[in-house]
């Protein structure tokens, strides 16, 4: 198992996830919200919806292990000149992807057998676009630095995306959601607020003004 250094060692505990039987899919399903991740070796389906956020889907093509992390960087309202703030925001991404890879490696997976697909949401809320771009750029850099090959990307568009991923898939199934509720925005806003408190305001005194 490759070592995870520095910020990669943040918060490696597992999250309690929403698992249920989906009669339409005829299989056990795990639904991920922003800030959650899951690694699985069974035939359960990993499902999430990305709006302005990012889903990183990773599969071990040899050992048949798959994982998904749903996250975003809280860079909305941060000046591009605020390098310290931007670096603190990246710790959210380090923590999210470190958890994912840590659990994948715990199954004995090797980095040269891992493949990743990145999925971003749509562009419904212009104020969040910078966070989407920053999250995507960070994920590309992080996975490359850890030797994980990116084999596909589903990016942009005017609508959120729903993602389905299980062991039968080389890449996740992704579909646009033409009808969606404000719940998506509310969940992302709540997640971003918690990140700002934990990673930004919690780690330095600041007079930055964040926008929603």
How many angstroms separate the CA atoms of 123 and 162, rounded?
14
How many angstroms separate the CA atoms of 162 and 93, rounded?
21
Tens-digit pLDDT profile for the chain (212 aa)?
A: 454 433 433 333 345 889 999 999 899 999 999 999 999 999 999 999 999 999 999 999 999 999 999 999 988 877 777 788 788 889 899 999 999 999 999 999 999 999 999 999 888 888 888 899 999 999 999 999 999 999 999 998 899 999 999 999 989 999 999 998 889 999 999 998 888 887 656 565 444 444 44
The predicted pLDDT at position 165 comes to: 97
Cα–Cα nearest to 85, from 193, 203, 188, 189 = 203
Cα–Cα nearest to 120, from 176, 168, 65 = 176
Q: Measured between alpha carbons, how far is residue 198 from residues 36, 110, 139, 194 in Å?
A: 15, 32, 20, 6
The predicted pLDDT at position 15 comes to: 52
Q: What order of strands is seen across the sheet that includes strand 18-22?
A: 18-22, 27-32, 45-50, 161-165, 173-176
At 209, phi and psi to the nearest 5?
A: -105, 115
How many angstroms separate the CA atoms of 104 and 31, rounded?
18
pTM of the model: 0.85
């Amino acid at each position: 198992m490759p070592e995870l250094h520095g910020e990669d060692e943040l918060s490696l505990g597992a999250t309690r996830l929403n698992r249920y039987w989906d009669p339409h899919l005829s299989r056990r399903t795990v639904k991920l919200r922003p800030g959650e991740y899951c690694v699985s070796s069974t035939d359960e389906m990993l499902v999430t919806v990305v709006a302005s956020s990012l889903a990183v889907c990773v599969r071990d093509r040899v050992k048949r292990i798959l994982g998904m992390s749903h996250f975003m960087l809280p860079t909305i309202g941060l000046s591009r000149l605020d390098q310290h703030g931007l670096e603190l925001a990246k710790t959210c991404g380090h923590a999210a992807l470190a958890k994912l890879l840590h659990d994948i490696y715990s199954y004995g997976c090797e980095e040269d057998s891992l493949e990743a697909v990145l999925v971003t949401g749509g562009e419904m809320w212009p104020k969040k676009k910078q966070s989407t771009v920053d999250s995507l750029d960070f994920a590309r850099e992080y996975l490359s630095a850890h030797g994980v090959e990116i084999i596909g990307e589903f990016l942009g568009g005017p609508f959120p995306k729903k993602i389905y991923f299980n062991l039968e898939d080389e890449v996740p199934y992704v579909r646009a959601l033409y009808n969606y509720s404000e719940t998506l925005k509310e969940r992302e806003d709540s997640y971003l607020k918690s990140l700002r408190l934990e990673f930004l305001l919690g780690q330095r005194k600041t007079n930055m003004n964040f926008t929603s």
